[in-house]
Amino acid sequence: MAYNFKEMMSRPERLVGGHRMCAGCGGTVALRNVMKAIKPEDKAVIANATGCMEVSTFTYPYTAWTDSYIHNAFENAAATASGVEAAYNALKRRGKIDDTYKFIAVGGDGGTYDIGFQSLSGAMERNHDMVYVCYDNEAYMNTGIQRSSATPLYADTTTTPSGMVSDGKAQIRKDLSEVMAAHRIPYVGQTTLIGNFKDLMVKAEKAIYTKGACFLNILAPCPRGWRYEGEDLMAVCKAAADTCFWPMYEVENGEKWTLTYEPKNKLPIEEFLKLQGRFRHLLQPGKEEQVANLQAEVDKRWELLLKKCSM
């Protein structure tokens, strides 16, 4: 598939201004660019799980989406999108609809890694022709910054507070991209907001125009939950990629693993931690062991990924 990145960037906006997402929100930037990957002649149906994106871009009767939009419960965005896709195919077979529609389910990590995992896994296993997009901000941000299974080791949240008796979350985060790859679906892409968004948009277009079930996992920092200044969004994403905390890769049919970004100089994890208030406690004297543990986890996952991509 050939990509004309300049043409993609010039396409009409499908997630427009007027919403109430926070300044410096990674999720808004991520979804805006994902929607630009849809060709202008095609239409879309968005199934959006309850969360930041839903409550801030859709307040009936107003919407920031130019395409058909469905607000779902926390747990069933994937099930709804798969049902709409099945109905579309039935209408298409009967000659009652001619337009080309793309079906996109959207959820944060809470509605994807946790509450919505059952419906997500089912939709992927059934191989519906749809894309599930997770804007991963690594906690339940909309309801008060509670930990999710996407929250990293030692992160400070309202349910895993750091202090005298705790160093933050005690568990490592779930690797949902690998879980989705294990479903052996046609395409899985993991990316974030760096550079000119080319990696994100190329993966988005590939997912949208690959037949069958596809999954995009986009690291989408939250200024309130991660505690960084809004203008530092891109620096935080770049640090996540350059420390290999958030590797950028794609998996086709569960078999072909391809690294799409490799830092010239892999940075220590402290370069990522120091940009965020949620890890401030780890940068204090006496926390060297915790930082070393986090670094070891990042290094282990990175080395395993490199092996898969070299096969």
Unique residue bearing structure tokens 């939009």: 69
Unique residue bearing structure tokens 């997912």: 207
Counting beta carbons within 10 angstroms of the beta carbon of residue 180, is it exposed (0 to 12), middle (13 to 18) or buried (19 or more)? buried
The SS3 of residue 252 is strand
Domain regions of the chain by residue span: 5-309
Global pTM?
A: 0.97
The SS3 of residue 90 is helix
Q: Which amino acid is residue 238, in one-letter code?
A: K
Return the pLDDT at 8: 86
Supply the DSSP symbol for 279: G
Short-list 304, 275, 58, 284, CA closest to 181: 304
The SS3 of residue 70 is strand
Return the pLDDT at 4: 79
Return the pLDDT at 1: 60
Q: Which two tokens stand for residue 4?
A: 């004309």
> Distance between CA atoms of 282 and 167, rounded to whole angstroms?
8
Q: Give the mean pLDDT per block of 10 residues along the chain (311 residues).
A: 79 94 96 96 97 94 96 96 98 96 98 98 98 98 97 98 96 98 98 95 97 98 98 98 98 98 97 98 97 98 97 83
Cβ contacts of residue 156 below 8 Å, gap of 6+?
Answer: 162, 168, 277, 278, 279, 280, 281
Please give the angle made by the CA atoms of 266, 268 and 272, to the nearest 5 degrees: 105
Which letter, b or e, does each residue of 209-219 get, where b requires 16 or more Cβ atoms within 10 Å of its Cβ? bbeebbbbbbb
* Phi/psi at 115 (5° precision): -65, -35
Give the strand pairing for 248-252 and 187-192.
antiparallel
> Distance between CA atoms of 87 and 94, rounded to whole angstroms?
11
Short-list 44, 30, 91, 71, CA closest to 209: 44
Domain 5-309, CATH class in plain words:
alpha beta
